[in-house]
Structures are given as C-alpha cells and as structure tokens.
Structure 1
Amino acid sequence: MSHKLSGGCDHIKTYSDADPIDNHTCHCSVCKGVTGQPTTHVAFFKHGDLVVDESAGLNRQPFNAANPDGPLELCTCADCGAPIMLDDKESRIRAIVPNLMGYEASFPAATYHAFYDPATGEARPTDGRPVSDALRADFVWPKPS
C-alpha cells in the first residue's frame, strides 16, 4: 500500500498520509550535535499521524543529552542502528529528519528557518523563507493523542 510520505530502514518503516504540522530548517545546537549537520530539515507530525510498523524494534534514547528527562526521544532501529524518528513522550508529536530517516528527496521543503541565533556567527539565511528565533509564531502544540 502506498502512503503520502514514508521512510525508515529495512527493518522498521514509518509513514503518514497526513502533511506535517510543522516543517522547518532547524538551526539549534541540539540538532547540530545529534545530526552533525550545520542545519537540519525537521518535520513535525501529530503523534497519531506518523505510524511506525515495528515499534518494538526501536531503541530509545534522550534526544537532548543536556536534558535527558526532556520530552523527546531519538528512536533508532535495534537491528541496524538507523535513526527512525523522534518520539514525544507526551504523545503530542513525532518528528522526522527526512534526509537521515529514509524519506525521499521529494519530501516537502521546509517552509521557514527555526531557532536561528545571530550570536552563533552563522550568516542569516537568505533563501527567502521566514527566519525565526523559535518555532513559527502560530505553531500550537497538539493535544496528546
């Protein structure tokens, strides 16, 4: 069966038939540290909209080492170690990094830049998309599912 968006690895698949509720290029230090990328394309889905087909095969670890009790867990495949998703312990969202979590290059482009901080010395993005020091102003965290 075909889904609107799908990813994962050879052992665990994720998919959604809904669009992300937030889709941004992240400039935060946590994403930089976890991914090793200077910026990270991150898409948030309502928790129930991103389905995981073999959740028992996930290893979970804190996403933010400086805040190990925080709400986000990085989920990786127990068989191959591939990153699969970020899971919210509060069941509000699930997030993916398309280029690292098995999604096609045709994944919808990020619509804005989040967590940009000029104090880092990083040049302000000039690609025409809005730039914010946080998530977009109209973003509302969904109720837990």
Structure 2
Amino acid sequence: MTHKGSCFCGAVEIAVSGDPVDMGYCHCQSCRSYSGAPFVAFTIWPSDNVAVTKGAELIGGYNKVGTSDRKYCTQCGGHMFIDHPKLGVVDVRAAILPTVDFEPKAHLSYAEAVFAVSDDLPKFVDFPAEIGGSGKLVDAAD
C-alpha cells in the first residue's frame, strides 16, 4: 500500500509504501521546539520506502544534533520528515499521511514531557534499547 502526503502549501509531496516500522509519540525537547507542540506523533518507515514525488528542489534541511536530518518545505515552512541515516529509517509526522491508520506503540523521551498523557502505552525515559536508548520506562508514579 502507498500513502501520500504533502507540506502545508502542497508544493512538496511524498509517498511512503509498505508498512511503517513503528508509530508513537515523541516528547523530546528537540521535537517540541521544532514543532511548537508539547509532543509529536510520528510514523517510522524504512528509508527505501519513502520518496519525494514532487517539489524536491523546495526541500530544505536542518541537522541540529548530527543524527537527524529534519526536512521542510522552503516555500511554506511545513515540516515533511526527518531522515535518520544511521538507523536506515525516516520519521514522517503522522499528520502528513492522512490515510495511515495511526496506531501508536509508545511514548519516547517521556522523561522530558511537559504534558502528561494518560494512556496505557509504554513511556520510555528516552528510547528503546534497539535504537540506542536505555530501554528504561518511566515509573508509573512519576
């Protein structure tokens, strides 16, 4: 299956194919600062399954920490995706892909949360161990 999405103005379009590797919410300071929101909803796809189908020349980028290449439309500023080349995956914000059934699996960087979320999803202090985090969960009493 292929899902299509675009930036805020529609000048840049992307397509993702297959199934996402993961979905969830990130509460880290970088995601909050970049998005202007208390947390973001993400979908993770294998790099080979994400393609820019229109407006590639309008994509700008910013890499603050050396591991995450944030991509946006230079025409409207709309966030598009974050390339994680060392992990071989691309993070596409859930809102960019309206036809994806968003089924979050966890909260990441919940120790940095500024907004409490009451749900039954695991809440990682940072990230799962499989992607370089501690794998530790936030204590339910926190």
Shared topology, TM-score over 0.5? yes
The reply on whether 1:36 has 2:36 as its aligned counterpart is: yes
In the alignment, which residue of structure 1 is the partner of 2:118? Answer: 126
**Could you tell me which residue of structure 2 aligns to residue 45 of structure 1?**
45
Letter in 1 for 2:108: A
Q: What TM-score do you get using the length of structure 2 for normalisation?
A: 0.75
By how many angstroms is 1:41 displaced? 0.7
Q: Is residue 98–residue 107 contact of structure 1 (8 Å, CA) maintained in 2?
A: no
CA separation of 1:14/1:59 partners in 2, compared to 1, >3 Å: closer, same or farther? same
SS in 2 for 1:53: strand
Give yes or no for contact 1:27–1:40 (8 Å, CA) kept in 2: yes
Q: Say yes or no: does 1:109 pair with 2:103.
A: yes
Q: For residue 143 of structure 1, what is the aligned residue in structure 2?
A: none
Structure with higher helix content = 2
Give the length in aligned residue pairs.
129
- The one-letter code matched in structure 1 to 2:88 is R
Letter in 1 for 2:57: A
Residue 61 of structure 1: aligned partner: 62
- CA change 1:48–1:23 in 2 (3 A) is same
- The CA RMSD over aligned residues, in Å, is 2.5
CA distance in 2, matches of 1:46, 1:14: 14
- For residues 27 and 104 of structure 1, the distance between their equivalents in structure 2, rounded to whole angstroms, comes to 22
- 1:96-120 CA deviation, whole Å, 9 max, x = no partner? 1122xx3217542211111111x76
Give the distance between the partners of 1:57 and 1:22, measured in 2 at CA. Answer: 27
- 2:28–2:109 Cα contact (<8 Å) kept: yes
Distance 1:18 1:114 in 2: 23
- How big is the shift at 1:139? 5.0
**Contact map agreement 1:5 1:107 (CA 8 A) in 2:** no
